[in-house]
């Protein structure tokens, strides 16, 4: 089940990562607008999304390996941080859009909530939760793996 979750996150993160940067690229290339400082935010979200995709791609096998008695490959700590930052960015955007929706009510506010805000919040929270869950599973695996190695060193003393 966890492996399926990881693949679903990979599929979900691709459009979430590419949309903000693609939107800014479209605006700059086809609408001929000037680059503004605020345009760095979607570009940064796209960069975080690409790093989150790389993180999920590198850790895709971890759930299968945790069940076995093998050493887990290493993932750079920067990818853990950037993955959590990507999730937090989408959570923050969802809260900001909720704030804007209540401050400036729109006629189609329920549609905006259902189509935009809730999926963004779920994707961000899911990304953050999955990273912390995976980190905890790796710690448990390492502890159990070390414990079994110590038991192997001790040997059978029931003679």
CB-based contacts of 20, cutoff 8 Å, min separation 6:
41, 42, 43, 45, 46, 49
Domain extents for the chain? 2-152
Give the pair of three-digit tokens for residue 133: 């869950």
| 139 CB-side CA count, 13 A | 6
Q: Which residue has the tokens 């912390």?
A: 132
Instruction: Give the relative orientation of helices 118-154 and 2-30 as an angle to the nearest 10 degrees.
Output: 140
pLDDT digits (tens, 9 = 90+) for 131-155: 998 888 888 877 766 655 555 565 5
Is 58 a residue whose pLDDT tops 80? yes
**Is the pTM higher than 0.85?**
no
């Amino acid at each position: 089940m966890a492996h399926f979750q990881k693949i679903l996150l990979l599929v979900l993160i691709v459009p979430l990562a590419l949309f903000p940067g693609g939107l800014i690229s479209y605006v700059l290339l086809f609408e001929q607008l000037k680059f503004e400082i605020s345009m760095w935010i979607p570009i940064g979200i796209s960069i975080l999304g690409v790093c989150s995709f790389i993180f999920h791609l590198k850790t895709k096998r971890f759930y299968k390996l945790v069940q076995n008695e093998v050493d887990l490959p290493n993932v750079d700590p920067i990818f853990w941080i950037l993955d959590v930052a990507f999730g937090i960015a989408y959570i923050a955007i969802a809260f900001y859009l909720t704030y804007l929706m209540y401050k400036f009510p729109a006629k189609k506010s329920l549609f905006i909530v259902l189509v935009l805000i809730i999926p963004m919040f779920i994707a961000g929270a899911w990304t953050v939760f999955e990273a912390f869950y995976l980190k905890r599973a790796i710690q448990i695996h390492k502890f159990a793996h070390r414990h079994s190695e110590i038991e192997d060193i001790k040997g059978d003393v029931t003679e």
